[in-house]
Structure 1
Amino acid sequence: MEPAPVDLARAPAASSAAVRDRFRRQGRRDTAPELALRRRLHARGVRFRVDVRPGRGTRARGDLVWKGRRLVVFVDGCFWHGCPTCGHLPKQNAGWRVLRFWEHQDPDEVADAVCRALGRGLVTRGDQAIP
């Protein structure tokens, strides 16, 4: 299934050449909040796939994906995704649990939530064990 084409005629025009250039340079992956979460999960021994489509029938690429567990995590920028009420949620996710986090959230708390979703009951932060 091919992704639906983007209708550029309906997209709003950039307010200036500088804005257009900034949007074009904006990275899709490896953002600071995403890297912070990945470092914390990796330090806890959690392994994951990065920037992967969870299934063939979806255009979305998860920031972190566990295909065997059918879990996908998106770390969204507050500006780009309209935190907290304007974000786009999929209409159909074919049985996938979707965790969505915002860049302003504490990476340790996000890592705790991901570990809980993966069924890891005991989470460690430094020397301290947290149930």
Structure 2
Amino acid sequence: MQAIRSRDTKPERLVRQLVHAQGLRYRVAAKPLPGLRRTADMVFRPAKVAVFIDGCYWHGCPEHYVPPRTNHGYWSEKVARNIARDRDTNQHLADAGWTVLRFWEHEPSRDCADQIILTVNRIRRPGTTG
């Protein structure tokens, strides 16, 4: 498991590059809440937006998750714990007034970046549409 990247994956880098090109600045692999021992892939602190780009296997994508053939019990339980932790993280952040954006690694980077940009700009400038 040491070889599995937990940050700076190709989908994350592509989305960050697109968002950065639009002038938005953010923290990478940062804790949105000080007391919460979890990190988001991108954190926009002033706007209180946390972005997660989840791997299809590790987070149980409904479209692409394939149960493991070896050591099925261990890995399936691991993915189930990840899903539960993701839901718990979403709830903690929402309770603290944060907006949580979650994307799957297979989603087009441009679509993810566009949604992030739109959400952050809407929160920063209330009352604007578009």
TM-score with structure 1 length normalisation?
0.69
Matched residue, 1:89: 87
> 2-side partners of 1:84 and 1:56: how far apart?
31
State the SS of the aligned residue for 1:74: strand
Decide which structure has greater strand share.
1
Residue deviations 1:51-104, cap 9 Å, x none? 100111111101000111111000010011101396331232222111000000
> 1-side partners of 2:114 and 2:120: how far apart?
10
Matched residue, 1:77: 55
Give the 4+ runs in structure 1 shifted more than 6 A: none
User: Is residue 26 from structure 1 mapped to residue 4 from structure 2 by the alignment?
Assistant: yes
User: Is residue 50 from structure 1 mapped to residue 28 from structure 2 by the alignment?
Assistant: yes
Which one is further off, 76-85 or 65-74? 76-85
TM-score with structure 2 length normalisation?
0.70
Matches within 5 A, 1:1-131: 23-84=1-62, 87=83, 88-90=86-88, 91-93=91-93, 94-119=96-121, 131=130
- Higher Cα Rg, which structure: 1
Q: Could you list the runs of 5+ residues in structure 1 that have no partner in the other structure? A: 1-22, 121-130
Q: Structure 1 residue 118: deviation in Å?
A: 0.8
State the SS of the aligned residue for 1:89: helix
Q: Structure 1 residue 119: deviation in Å?
A: 2.1
Matched residue, 2:69: none
Q: Could you list the runs of 5+ residues in structure 2 that have no partner in the other structure? A: 64-79, 123-129
Aligned residues between the structures: 99
Which one is further off, 63-72 or 85-94? 85-94
Matched residue, 1:14: none
Percent sequence identity is: 40
